Structure 1
Amino acid sequence: MDRRSLIQRAGIAGILAAGAAPAVHAQQAIRWRLASSFPKSLDTIYGGAEVFAQKVKGLSGGKFEISVHAAGEIMPAFGVVDGVQQGSVEAAHTAPYYFFGKDETFAIGGAIPFGLNSRQMSAWTFEGNGLKLMREFYARYNIIHFACGNTGAQMGGWFRKEIKSVADLKGMKMRIGGFAGKVLERMGGVPQNIPGGDIYPALEKGTIDAAEWIGPYDDQKLGFNKVAPFYYYPGWWEGGLQLDLYINQKAYDALSPENKAIVEAASAYAHVEMQAKYDVKNPTALKQLVGSGAKLRPFPADLMAAAFKTSMALYDELSQKNPSWAKVYGDLAKFRADQNLWFRFTEATFDRFMQSQKL
């Protein structure tokens, strides 16, 4: 019996029984683990990873699932780069500047003192050279990254004593995130790089004299106002902290084009959602903190001027000795100059006017 006759007489059941039909393969389910550098109690910054994972699952129809693990569950908060690089986990969600000890260039991917605000950072990343330059840098760590959240401009932190001038920083032990500690150190302070979940007990016991985290909503959750009365602004070291999604390069390369597109879309969604959440929640939290006795203060003018001068001198030094820093920071500095010129006539002028009105 020839093939045509077989098809005509046996129908599909006969074809399958005879083994004549091509094999049909169902799409294989994907299961990843993501290590966060943040505690679960912070639904904003830790929540960014959960938002990303939920969006990946939804866009893939449940075929691509990512379990999110808080700091300390499967690896320490500051161990996630090593974890992704070595393939212990497929992904991590973190603040890049935590890892400036490996190379100062990491800090540029998150925030550096007197760098970019959140809008400018997104512009540099997505439409400038930021994504390209940082991916070239991360490639040496076997990592590909995606922007995945921004806190917006931050507060300057909680202090046990009032700061009246830059001289008050001398000998002061302050928890300060990542790279900004290098600037504080040059100004006489003693920086402490402590994960978010460990800050409160250190401040309560007097192990540290001051601490910054992010802003009112998270700070209120962590209870810093109970152990340090003075709340300073602005966080000059973080005009807008960008969070990154780090993915092991081999794991990413194994994804289909469709799943790579899902990762890109989900991270972009989480990127926007995080700052929107902070912008909604911070004003109410600030009013509640002040109402409960927090003493809101601006940093003294001489401290701000000294911090700016110290930061620029540090960047010049790093540009002389670290080629990676020189390449990435050089591009960011040019971008920052153009952005500040533009914002001077638009955003900043509009904001100053609106903030002076009684609404």
Structure 2
Amino acid sequence: MKRRTLLAQTGLGATALTAAATVKVAAQAPVSSPSQPAIRWRMATAFPKSLDIMFSTIESLCQQVSDMTGGKFVITPYPVGDIAPAAKVLDTVTEGTTECGCTISLYYTDRIPALGFTGGIPFGLNAQQQNAWLFYGGGLEATQKIYRTLGLINYPAGNIGGQMGGWFRREIETVDDLKGLKIRIAGLGGSLLKRLGAEVQILGPDEILPALVAEKIEAVEFLGPYDDEKLGLHKATRYYYSPSWWEPGASNELLINLNQWQTLPQDYQTILQLAATEAHHKLLARYTAANSAALERLLANGVQLKTFSPEFVQATYQAAVAMYEELASQDPQFREVYQPWKAFRSKIHKWNRVNEMGFATFAFNAGN
């Protein structure tokens, strides 16, 4: 009875109901039977425990799976570095060292650029649009096709939402200021900055502050105020920029070894999808609630809030479009995801101009 209640209340909470995947599987979600096997998995993650919202949401995902199977399916998450560094979580799961992992695809776009669409790309979709694309716009099916070639299956497991544009030791006014800039940034945002002359490094969360202190880098793109404060980035840099045009709606993923996935009983598969979907929406809600207060604390500690100039954003937008068109012309896998994604973005932008833009512009400027 307890498992049945959890399936009804936990997997079908208000946040999870917003996703098609949850609605579809929850309506027929089986309850784990006493005869089901006991299974123990390990999960490598790309995140340290110090990022408490991120890591506790992953722990909650794993706890949901245990609760809904009566303790028979147990997944133990490990912080970054315990099993693998951030950039190697995918390999760990592909090779079967662990059965699953929680990471963000931005660490792997140097190998497969099309994976950037799940993690977030420059001038891409915001959080709500990203969820619409993944669950209702064919995004999950398109990216699962790519991951299957790697022996994996993926599910969204944490929408991070709107972020910040990063930390800089000197002011950024034009794209020329990017030339020679030593910056930590992953994904296609990193590829774009390389094209604009920056010296890009891909570092895991646990590696960023030491690199800043040692002056191996002079700028950092990471997440939002809450996690950036947790990492102590304000202690080593001065200027905090917005907006985050390189990842407007980033999402984490649950990666599962395909062979291990196929050995799971069907109800275990359903339960794991339910737990991942709830974690996906819960993470967005938690960050949305926490980032405002964290930004206020940072500003009170002397951080200087800056905004990228319209000229800078326009120049980087044009460079991003050129990069995507070039990738689409050269990489069939990228083109297969990009063309329908671009059409989806065009349609949803038309709708959001009507239903959101006018009100948001007024509300944000109206004050309290």
Alignment TM-score, normalising by the size of structure 1 = 0.91
Question: Which of 272, 283, 296 is equivalent to 1:274?
Answer: 283
Q: Corresponding residue for 1:53?
A: 62
Q: Aligned residue for 1:328?
A: 337
Q: What percent identity do the matched residue pairs reach?
A: 38
- The one of 103, 113, 116 aligned to 2:122: 113
**Contact 1:217/1:286 (CA < 8 Å) preserved in 2?**
yes
- The residue matched to 1:83 in structure 2 has which SS? helix
Map Cα deviations across residues 310-330 of structure 1 (whole Å, 9 max, x no partner): 100000010011100000011
2:301 & 2:34 partners in 1: Cα distance? 62
Is it true that 1:149 corresponds to 2:163 in the alignment?
Answer: no
Give unpaired runs (5+ residues) of structure 2.
Answer: 1-32
Question: Are 2:106 and 2:187, in contact at CA under 8 Å, matched by a contact in 1?
Answer: yes
Q: Tell me what 1:8 maps to.
A: none
Matched letter for residue 218 of structure 1 = D
Letter in structure 1 aligned against 2:309: P
Paired amino acid for 2:191: K
Q: Is the 8 A contact 2:213 2:236 kept in 1?
A: yes
Q: CA deviation at 1:115?
A: 0.8
Q: 1: CA distance between counterparts of 2:190 and 2:341?
A: 20
Q: 1:224 aligns with which of 229, 233, 243?
A: 233
How far apart, in 2, do the equivalents of 1:309 and 1:25 lie? 58
Q: Which residue of 2 aligns with 1:205?
A: 214
Does structure 1 conserve the Cα–Cα contact (< 8 Å) formed by 2:163 and 2:223? yes
Q: How high is the TM-score relative to the length of structure 2?
A: 0.89
> Which residue type is aligned with residue 309 of structure 1?
Q
Of 54, 62, 72, 2:71 maps to: 62
Determine if contact 1:48/1:148 at 8 Å carries over to the other structure.
no
**In the alignment, which residue of structure 2 is the partner of 1:89?**
98
Higher mean Cα deviation, 65-74 or 100-109?
100-109
Shift of 1:25: 8.0
Correspondence for 2:43: 34
Match of 1:317 in 2: 326
Q: Distance in 1 between matches of 2:55 and 2:114?
A: 24
Cα distance in 1, alignment partners of residues 133 and 185 from structure 2? 25
Name the structure 2 match of 1:265. Answer: 274
Question: Contact 2:159–2:280 (CA<8 Å) still a contact in 1?
Answer: yes
What do residues 19-75 of structure 1 show as CA deviations (whole Å, max 9, x unaligned)?
xxxxx9843211010000111110122333212101111111111100001111012
Q: Structure 1: state its 5+ residue gaps.
A: 1-23
Is residue 85–residue 204 contact of structure 2 (8 Å, CA) maintained in 1? no
Q: 2:299 maps to what in 1? A: 290
**SS at the partner of 2:52?**
coil
Q: Which runs of 4+ in 1 moved over 6 A?
A: none
- Structure 2 CA distance for aligned equivalents of residues 88 and 130 of structure 1: 28
**Contact 1:98–1:179 (CA under 8 A) maintained in structure 2:** no
Structure 1 293/25 Cα, relative in aligned 2: closer, same or farther at 3 Å? closer
- Is residue 149–residue 243 contact of structure 1 (8 Å, CA) maintained in 2? yes
The Cα offsets for residues 171-226 of structure 1, whole Å up to 9 and x where unpaired, read as 11111122211111111211111111111111122211100110100011111111
Opposite residue 343 of structure 1, the aligned amino acid is N
Query: Quick check: 1:166–1:300 contact (8 Å CA) kept in 2?
Result: no
Which of these residues, 192, 195, 211, is aligned with residue 204 of structure 2? 195
SS, match of residue 144 in structure 1: strand
Q: Any idea what SS the aligned residue of 2:40 has?
A: strand
What is residue 86 of structure 2 aligned with on the other side?
A: 77
Secondary structure, counterpart of 1:332 in structure 2: helix
From the superposition, tell whether residues 139 and 296 of structure 1 become closer, same or farther in structure 2 (CA, over 3 Å).
same
Q: Counterpart amino acid of 1:335?
A: F
Query: Over residues 218-249 of structure 1, what are the superposed CA-to-partner deviations in whole Å (9 max), with x where a residue is unaligned?
Result: 01111111111100001110011011100011
RMSD: 1.3
Structure 2 counterpart SS, 1:81: helix
- Aligned residue number for residue 16 of structure 1: none
Whichever residue aligns with residue 121 of structure 2, its letter is I
Change beyond 3 A, Cα 1:228–1:259: same
Aligned to 2:183: 174
Secondary structure of 1:31's aligned partner: strand
Name the structure 1 match of 2:224.
Answer: 215
Aligned residues: 336
Q: 1:117-132 to 2 correspondence within 5 Å?
A: 117-132=126-141
For 1:350 and 1:54, locate their aligned partners in 2 and report how far apart those are by CA, in whole Å: 39
Residues 323 and 27 (structure 1 numbering): CA distance in 2 closer, same or farther, change over 3 Å? Answer: same
